[in-house]
Chain A
């Protein structure tokens, strides 16, 4: 009895050992042959379809959008490709989870990154495949908007395709503007006048805060760099031809500091550091229980389209962010919010490439997904026409697609930090702007540290490729 007990105990321990050593990481898919049901007769059966499984990891989305993606993207792909089973998996903290998996030689077949700077890091580490042969096979260069296609190219080869393109715009409360007789600003002088009047009326000018997402700091910096210093000067700095300590960039950052000191961001730093995401939109448009709006504008990206209507109903609209300096032409800043590449360790790169082509290959299908997200996510930058979108599409959103295509198509565009800056410099920008706002760091010191970090990464070849803007500032 004792012996039997000991034997059972040892077996239990051994089983625990095997369980503890088991891996939960999703490995690149292996072929899983599907078998057909056996026929009742003795006739020879059809050869079973060898089905491969492809896994994509992506960041979490709203539940309704998960269902929509499953229907419009995954199910349609699987129906059209009986030899491939596509599975979409949503991962919290995807950057860290995926990086760990890739470092361990594991991870999904299709790799998500939050932007070209990350894709560059992954390419340098050998985590993602050169997609050039697939780009040629599927003619992706013709399907994807030029600047977005180029953002995925490194040293002349394509390594990632853009999943979400975005830009910064100015949301405003249309109802309050109408009531007060205000017009959306078209210059720095307009902003200062409008913010002064709003403050006098007991309203906050901008509803922004960064308690919920530190990256708000880089949104604001991207806007002032491009709309004050000028996109051409930003491009020059990204090539290393102009320092980030140039007076134009110092003055750009000073604008943010001045606006913060005036209390134009949610009433001041105490609120800027305190309000969460719901607060921002409730402050802009009021609450469902009747609380009045307390702010009039929000500087945010087009991903917020999917939030604007639920919070604001029809009380919102948007305009292009204005030029902040005479001689600087306003334009849209380019941003790739996320990219997709193929895991270098994937056992089915060809099938993975088919999935990528399904994403960018058809504008009507892509438009349906974009509408599902209310133009907020998964809006691949293709050559859309108005007819690609349904008649029910929000005209504010179709206007954006049209204006953006026209504006950037003519070469008038700027650059966002999360797309075109190298990773460490970008991290510094985000983390230390708070210290500028609190006065713990001077603007000059902030710019100098940016310059130092950028120079080191430029020398190491870590600055993503940026298309040259045709915007010229005086």
Chain B
């Protein structure tokens, strides 16, 4: 019988050292990310809470003014106008791209030939940078050279030359349309992947029970992709309060605040009006709204909802 000559004490130490390495190593790898996160995100976030209580122009020292910025926010009609626009934006993005994405994914899941081509076509706008997308749509909507203007000039269709980006009544939905063009394809691919994970036997069982196509979609597909659908609904609500790039690049929140949202108002106050303290207050309110959405989701999960 072979007798082990290894020192059991050293063996125990070796196993403990190995365990410690396994515990510490992941943290070591996470440390750089944490440091960058702290410096770039967490630190400034905490600082912005402080600046929300100050009158600060962005240069020099900040003057503490207590709750004055919050009082001003509560009475600022422009703030509420921007908030209203964010809620409208949320309504648009909770309905249009999600229903388009679901519909496209549902049809895509039932075709085999050419599916990759459609997936590429739907996803392509998503890989473009917002700057490029905005430029494309600016030319499409251009009042002199755009599609509407061309139809008007060549065929006399005056009704076609709609000033989408300068008409205060339709500018916000127009920008939402531009953003949706870029966004819905991503959702379609996401939902397609989720639908492909749904057990096909459920569809067979439904068909055997006489379910129509629509009923299959409603009672098999939707419940089957509920976690993905819930996630995209939650993130859409949060992102609706943070939407900035398309609006800023297209109209800067104008004309006459017709497309103003909280993020563009924050940007203007911080970088154009030298009111960084007040901008920080607006930022805090945006965090509050996002936090409320998150809390709502956590509450629903506790109630057993799969979101």
Residues of A within 8 A of B (CB): 6, 9-10, 13, 16-17, 20-21, 95-96, 99, 102-103, 121-122, 124-127, 211, 214, 269-276, 279, 423-424, 427-428, 430-431, 434-435, 437-438, 440
Contact = CB atoms under 8 A, between A and B. Distances in A.
Chain B: number of interface residues, binned into ranges = 35 or more
Nearest to A436: B256
A121 B35 CA distance: 33
Given A6-B21, A279-B144, 9 more contacts: A6-B25, A20-B35, A99-B59, A102-B59, A121-B59, A121-B60, A122-B59, A211-B165, A275-B143
B137 interface: no
A50 to B, nearest CB: 33
A434 B78 CA distance: 14
B119 interface: no
A279 B149 CA distance: 14
B166 A427 contact: no
25 contacts: A10-B28, A13-B28, A13-B29, A99-B59, A121-B57, A121-B60, A121-B274, A124-B60, A269-B166, A270-B167, A272-B166, A273-B251, A275-B143, A275-B144, A276-B138, A423-B57, A423-B273, A423-B274, A424-B275, A431-B273, A434-B255, A435-B256, A437-B256, A438-B258, A440-B256
B163 A270 contact: yes
B165 A274 contact: yes
B32 A16 contact: yes
Contacts of A122: 59
Contacts of A431: 268, 272-273
Nearest to B58: A99
Could you tell me the dominant secondary structure of chain A's interface residues?
helix
A273 B57 contact: no
A126 B256 contact: no
A121 to B, nearest CB: 6
A121 B167 CA distance: 36
B166 A274 contact: yes
A13 B32 contact: yes
B252 interface: yes
A271 to B, nearest CB: 6
Given A99-B58, A214-B254, A434-B255, A428 B166 contact: no
Contact of A270 (B60, B166, B254): B166
B109 interface: no
With most chain A CB atoms within 10 A of its CB, the pick from B167, B251, B272 is B272
Interface in B144-203: 144, 163, 165-168
Nearest to B145: A279
Contacts of B36: 20-21
Contacts of A434: 254-257
A109 B25 CA distance: 44
A214 to B, nearest CB: 7
B271 interface: yes
Contacts of B138: 276
A443 to B, nearest CB: 14
Nearest to B252: A214
A430 B273 CA distance: 10
